[in-house]
Homo-oligomer: A and B are copies of this chain.
Amino acid sequence: MVEDALVIFTPSGKRGRVAKGTSVLEAARKLGVDLDSVCGGRGICSKCQITPGYGDFPKHGVKVAEDALSAFNAVEERYDRVRGLKPGRRLGCQACIQGDVVLDVPPESQVHKQVIRKSASERVMEMDAAVRLCLVDVAEPDMHVPTGDFERLAAALEEAFGIKGLQVDIEVLSKLQSVLRKGKWQVTCAIWQDGGAPRLVGLFPGLRETPVYGLAIDLGSTTIAGHLVELGAGAVLASSGLMNPQIRFGEDLMSRVSYAMMNKGGDVEMTAAVRAALGDLTQALAEEAGVSADEIVETVIVCNPVMHHLVLGIDPVELGQAPFALAHSGSVTVPARTLGMPIAPGAMTYLLPLIAGHVGADAAAVALSESPETRDDLSLIVDVGTNAEILLGNKTRVLACSSPTGPAFEGAQISSGQRAAPGAIERIEINPETREPRFRIIGNEHWSDEPDFGTPQITGICGSGIIEAVAEMRMAGILDASGLIGSAEQVGTPRCVATGRTHEYVIYDGRPDGPRITVTQGDIRAIQLAKSALYAGARLLMDEMGVDRVDRVVLAGAFGAHISAKHAMVLGMIPDAPLSQVSSAGNAAGTGARMALCSVAARRAIEAQVRRIHKVETAIEPRFQEHFVAANAMPHASDPFPELSKIVTLPDVSFNTGGDEGRGARRRRTRG
């Protein structure tokens, strides 16, 4: 009988006895320890490096002798000479166990390594990518046993890695023969497996030492953002975005659905437009990261239901009318090339499941990223965009809805509005005494009243700027609770200027060389409509949950990252909550997309969670309309805002022009 030895792996703590002479890699596989290997244990790829510990380990109850591992063999010596092994490291496939030993697996040798998510929350996620790399030597063709090159490749993969039933698309097959010959019958295969049969999605001649890449794409109605992710370590190598070219067919989702309804072939035009943009974005990301498109082996897309249907080539017409029937609600996996992405020819694209007709895969990605179902406290998660997705929940239950806020929060439909770009006003303060404003613009770290501000070009006001402007106007008594802008006389500042029967507030007058930037009564109405829709959606979920308050509010979306919590609450965009409990999750949808890209376990988790989420349809709910009307006032006509009151006292003014009331109200005004 062969003698055995005790092997303890750290940091997993997995332990067990193996026969002496067993390689560390074999021992790891036997004990279920996560130890990487691309070459299948031939001392080529160096992915299986471990650090043996010697001496006394009282914690593990073991003493490790100097000869617990076999001495360096020729393969290790050659590797160390040519490529260099870090001090203390061994190749797990070469070092054999001779006695009791403690072996540390460094993070870079783990497939399922823990990765810090690059987001405000800094949580960790575990790598569990759908694509792995496998190096194989393929038998050369033999006229007398005329099997195909693919069949011999598949046999080699089965023998070395136990990969059975390999699938392949003809697009990959068409590259196979030249790559095999270029690699002199040694190739690194990118094998994709996500639930079903393994699939050959990429192929590289010889040993590929660098990792492969994936794309996480947040396909919004207005912007398309993408991250190029290194699939080994989960690191983001490049991030880029572009406008969704579908904007020319309609600013918001419903106008695009209308375009498809009114124009035969309109859906096909929009599909072509968004696929072309995905192609452009892919190229831009690959160039930025300096990788070739062939090295990108998988993509994940999150998007709302209309974008989902359009990118898949499905006419979204049913999403424009009750009952808002989705063509397909589950997760979808399709070849990336069918969506216009010029990446590795066999690469697949995974789209997260949709939650409901108005609540998309982007909301599912937020749910994945924020995981309200794991918390005891009640979270309200709001992803603010042209359409707002709202989640409310805790460990007991998670609810979801969407609300048609329109693009006002993004600076569209605002008289001086513009997208967030250099020159746009993004922060604003109004002195409650003088009612004089000062502001900051994107691309300039100084306030406009500071000497170092200089004389930059000031071009307009962006989404977060307009929210601050309206809230500051309300706090400074320029605006009453109903949303009326007072006259110069009522407010006491010449910056309030009459325009017909209403007034506007002048923030900046750059004439004759620059623009005159004002907040008009129409701008206030647009913001009121948007914020009422958002608040009403949140209230509807709170009704369903049977609560009057939430424990925390998370603002998601790229825009959410720039919203001032105080100003948002002054407007009544979100329900009352302690300011310390209002946080930004950054681009949570994008983070969710990256998590799904890096982990098939995350995909299964969100697919299961989406089935459990309770969907609330706002469009047909009479109470939504009631909440919407009541939310028109700033912050609200009836709901109390006790937490807001602790930090801000809003002036009790009214500029209703009926009779003398406006003037009277002006006199009663108090300061916050």
Contact = CB atoms under 8 A, between A and B. Distances in A.
A326 B170 contact: no
B144 A174 contact: no
A362 interface: no
A92 to B, nearest CB: 35
A348 B600 CA distance: 28
Contacts of A322: 143
A116 interface: no
Nearest to A148: B329
A146 B329 contact: yes
Contact of A328 (B142, B173, B314, B357): B173
A559 to B, nearest CB: 26
B325 A149 contact: yes
A355 B146 contact: yes
Contacts of A173: 312, 314, 327-328
A148 B354 contact: yes
Interface string A332-368: 1010001000000000000000111101000000000
A325 B196 CA distance: 29
Nearest to A621: B143
A329 B620 contact: no
A140 B323 CA distance: 9
Contacts of A144: 615, 617
A149 B328 contact: yes
Contacts of A170: 312-314, 332, 334, 338
Nearest to A267: B174
Contacts of A326: 141, 146-149
Contact of A148 (B315, B327, B334, B620): B327
Interface residues of A, number: 50
- Copies of this chain, complex-wide, total 2
Interface string A167-209: 0111101101110000000000000000011000000000000
A194 to B, nearest CB: 14
Given A143-B617, A143-B620, A323-B141, A330 B148 contact: yes
A330 B357 CA distance: 43
A328 B146 contact: no
A619 B143 CA distance: 10
Interface of A: 140-151, 168-171, 173-174, 176-178, 196-197, 312-315, 317-318, 322-330, 332, 334, 338, 354-357, 359, 615, 617, 619-620
Given A142-B323, A146-B329, A170-B312, 17 more contacts: A141-B318, A141-B326, A143-B324, A143-B619, A145-B615, A146-B357, A146-B617, A147-B326, A148-B326, A150-B328, A151-B330, A173-B328, A174-B313, A174-B315, A176-B327, A176-B328, A177-B314
7 closest residue pairs by CB, A with B: A148-B329, A141-B325, A146-B356, A148-B326, A148-B328, A150-B328, A143-B323
17 contacts: A141-B325, A143-B323, A143-B617, A146-B324, A146-B326, A146-B329, A146-B356, A146-B615, A148-B327, A148-B329, A148-B330, A149-B326, A149-B328, A151-B330, A168-B328, A170-B338, A174-B313
